[in-house]
Amino acid sequence: MTTYTTTDELTARDVMVRRFVTAAPEDTLGELAEHLSAADAGSALVVEFGQLRGILTSRDIFRAVAERVHPSEGTVRDWMSESPATATPDLPIEDAARSMLAGGFHHLPVVEEGRPVGVVGLRSAFSALRRFPGW
CB 8 within 8 A of CB 97: no
- Residue 38 in domain: yes
User: Residue 37 and residue 29: Cα distance in Å, rounded?
Assistant: 12
CATH of the domain at 81: 3.10.580.10
Does 1 reside within a domain?
no
Q: What CA–CA distance (Å, rounded) separates 33 from 135?
A: 34
Domain with 81 in it:
7-129
Judged on CB neighbours under 10 Å (0-12, 13-18, 19+), 77 is: middle
Domains contained in the chain, number: 1
Taking the chain (135 residues) in runs of 10, the rounded mean pLDDT of each run is: 65 96 98 97 97 97 96 97 97 96 96 97 94 77
Has residue 134 been placed in a domain?
no
Instruction: Indicate whether 2 belongs to any domain.
Output: no
Cα(84)–Cα(128) distance, integer angstroms:
23
- For 44, phi and psi rounded to 5 degrees? -135, 140
Distant-in-sequence, close-in-space partners of 68: CB < 8 Å, separation ≥ 6: none
- Listed in sequence order, the residues at least 6 apart from 69 whose beta carbon sits closer than 8 Å to its beta carbon are 29, 79
Q: What is the pTM of this model?
A: 0.89
Residue 55 maps to a domain = yes
Instruction: Give a yes or no: residue 47 inside a domain.
Output: yes
For residues 95 and 9, the answer to whether their CB atoms sit within 8 Å is no
Task: Decide if 57 is inside a domain.
Answer: yes
Report the first-to-last Cα separation within the chain, whole angstroms. 21
Contacts of 47 (CB under 8 A, 6+ apart): 22, 23, 24, 53, 116
